[in-house]
Amino acid sequence: MLKKKERFDKYVEILDTTLRDGEQTPGVAFTPLEKEQIVSSLLMKAHVDRIEIGSARISDGEKEALAAIIGKVDKKGGADRLEILGFVDGGKSIDWVCEVGGKVINLLCKGSEHHCRIQLKKEPQEHFDLVCREIEYALKRGLTVNVYLEDWSGGMRENFAYVYEITRRILEYPVARIMLPDTLGILTPEELSKYLDWMYSAFPGIRLDFHGHNDYGLVSSNSLAAVKMGINAIHTTVNGLGERTGNQSLCEIVALINDMSDRKTRVAEKQLFGLSRLVQTFSGKRVAWNAPIVGGDVFTQTCGVHADGDKKGNLYANDLLPERFSRKRNYALGKLSGKASIDKNLEMLGLDLEKNVREKLLKEIVRLGDKKKSVTPEDLPFIIADVLRQPMQEVIRFDKYAIHTQQGMAPFARIEINFKGRDLAAESHGDGGYDAFMKALRKALRLVDVKLPKLLDYEVRIPPGGATDALVGTTITWDTGERPMVTTGVDSDQLLAAMQATQKMINSLFGNKPATH
């Protein structure tokens, strides 16, 4: 019999499969050390309930990596939270899982008659018998067994009798969970709810997981529907990684469960943004600017009317407050900005300007916005200085610099700068021209006890179809401790554009503010 678990538990379990299904994203392959870091962040920081860390019998390298991960987690008593996908292969996957120290196997079998007959070329009863033998052997080896019904959604559509029979056979054994994949992302919330009702009616007390895909953009709606039907667990990936359109995004379903149902998760919401950035870096797959919760612009208000409403009473804020996810709300500056947007940004910068100066400032920002120039809060002091016709003090000047890159030699930079009237010089090697420049710059500024912030992101943009002499826009994001600072530089030379952005950051952080009245 299935291990019983209440259908409507207060807490919905989260199984994250970034390291298994997420790694099936084209071009994504995590190193063993990256996998260890992701597991640590998921378990120890985000408090995800379970992790599917990989598949059996993939490679010797995968075997070593999973053994190392399980060994480290087992020392803290959490190895039963790590799960490995296994196959109906005569016990080979089961032996493999045992060899790496695994405690839980997620056995993959066919949840639709179509897959069974076409892919396996087997009669259903033959497949059922093989699955049962696999379960018997896994239990004999002391493993906890979960069972995936691959293409369950297709099976429910075409022949519920098949799904019923394979489930009935599985339930003759003390498996822990039945996992229900919408393998091709074909279900609607209404259809999923109906099928789950069939499953619960046919098998009272059954413990179910839902594993959704996003082909029609419905995965979050489907997962929420499953939660409202009493599902025990939802499968996720960080940033929605996965084949085709990806899997259920971890952060999205956590927020949905917590806000849109009468159930909760144990996931630490404040850790989700950092986790997203970590996986984004390791995977090389950037998150869309408007991705809920973790997108770069999702907590940025552009419309001046919205900024005014927030100023007067948070009229344009919903329950997804940025502070829940260790983020902050920003107010964009551009042609759509209004007085409230300006005031919000001046407040964040600690500036207090007279009304007539603010009006001039707004006109200048709108003018720049009409040229499609992005205006950041860090640009404000420079724009204000121009509006007041008072040049801002340049605290740093790059007087001389020579940056060399030569085959067979490490890039080298020699610089002479002036910082607040003091001449400084330094030189350094680096991994690239800009890295060498930054190391030399940090070395020079250490002479006057100035510490520069860490670089968080570096983005280069060239106009579409641009020639080799086209202008390059370099945008650098810096970690200033309170909130990220973004500075830009433009030049036909990519390195000089980056140097301009760096100079702008230093003047913003260490320069005098313009006169106020």
* Over residues 479-483, mean pLDDT: 84
Question: Mind telling me the catalytic residues?
Answer: 20, 150
**For the segment 26-35, what is each residue's pLDDT rounded down to a tens digit?**
999 999 999 9
What pLDDT, on the 0 to 100 scale, is given for residue 336?
A: 64
Q: Is the pLDDT confidence value at 516 over 50? A: no
Q: What is the CATH number of the domain that holds 140?
A: 3.20.20.70
Half-sphere exposure of 56 (CA within 13 A, CB side): 27
What pLDDT, on the 0 to 100 scale, is given for residue 517?
A: 37
- Number of structural domains, the chain? 3
Comparison of pLDDT for 394 and 137, the residue scoring more: 137
What pLDDT, on the 0 to 100 scale, is given for residue 168?
A: 98
Give the residue from 343, 363, 387 where a domain finishes.
387
Confidence of residue 49 (pLDDT cuts 50, 70, 90): very high
Residues 311 and 403 in one domain: no
Write out the H or E segment, with its range, that includes residue 259. helix 250-260
**Conformational region of residue 411, where left means phi above 0, alpha means psi within -120 to 50, and beta covers everything else:** beta
Residues 456, 244: Cα–Cα separation, whole Å:
29
Sign of the CA dihedral with 62 first, then 68, 72, and 75 last: positive
406 inside domain: yes
Residues 338 and 437 in one domain: no
Q: Is the pLDDT confidence value at 514 over 50? A: no
**For the segment 245-289, what is each residue's pLDDT rounded down to a tens digit?**
999 999 999 999 999 999 999 999 999 999 999 999 999 999 998
Residues 87 and 154 in one domain: yes
Q: Is the pLDDT confidence value at 334 over 90? A: no
Residues 480 and 353 in one domain: no
Residues 417, 8: Cα–Cα separation, whole Å:
66
Q: Are 222 and 190 in contact, with CB atoms under 8 Å apart?
A: no
Residues 313 and 248 in one domain: no
What pLDDT, on the 0 to 100 scale, is given for residue 208?
A: 98
What pLDDT, on the 0 to 100 scale, is given for residue 316?
A: 60
* Residue range(s) defining the domain that contains residue 351: 300-387
Residues 94 and 181 in one domain: yes
Q: Is the pLDDT confidence value at 307 over 70? A: no
What pLDDT, on the 0 to 100 scale, is given for residue 164?
A: 98
Percent of the chain clearing pLDDT 70 (strictly above)? 88
Q: What is the CATH number of the domain that holds 464?
A: 3.30.160.270
Residues 245 and 145 in one domain: yes
229 inside domain: yes
2 inside domain: no
